[in-house]
Amino acid sequence: MEELKQLAEKEKRAALRLQEESLQASFREALRARDRLEAEMRQELQVQAEGEACRKLQEQQHKETEETREKIIHTVREETQECVRRCVQDAERSIREECDMKAEREKRALQDRHEEEIYELQNR
């Protein structure tokens, strides 16, 4: 009976040792699986974070591009208006000078004609 008890105890310890080894192997496998899942989750979060960062950078770049475009349009519009204003002033000055010269020529021609008429009248 004592031998059977010792044999049963021995088998029990062996079974418990095998069970413990099996549980430790399962625990190690569970730890490795957890580590893999955590790594995958970190990678997924990183991918999402990179995607969000790219989206934000694209939005910022689009905004900056739009602001730059608006500044360029504003600058070109101002320069164009200034150029048109100068061209109009130059044209007005040129036309005024032409008109003044034409009026002066007509005035001289009229004075010459009057002097000629006066000369002819005096000679008669």
Spell out the domain ranges in the chain.
Answer: 1-95
> Percent of the chain scored above 70 by pLDDT?
100
pLDDT band at 122 (very low <50, low <70, confident <90, very high): very high
pLDDT in tens, 56-112: 999 999 999 999 999 999 999 999 999 999 999 999 999 999 999 999 999 999 999
Q: What pLDDT score was predicted for residue 4?
A: 82
Which sign does the torsion angle of CA 8, 12, 18, 21 carry? negative
In Å, what is the CA distance from 55 to each residue of 2, 47, 48?
Answer: 77, 12, 10
Q: What pLDDT score was predicted for residue 108?
A: 96
Quick one: tokens of 31? 């730890």
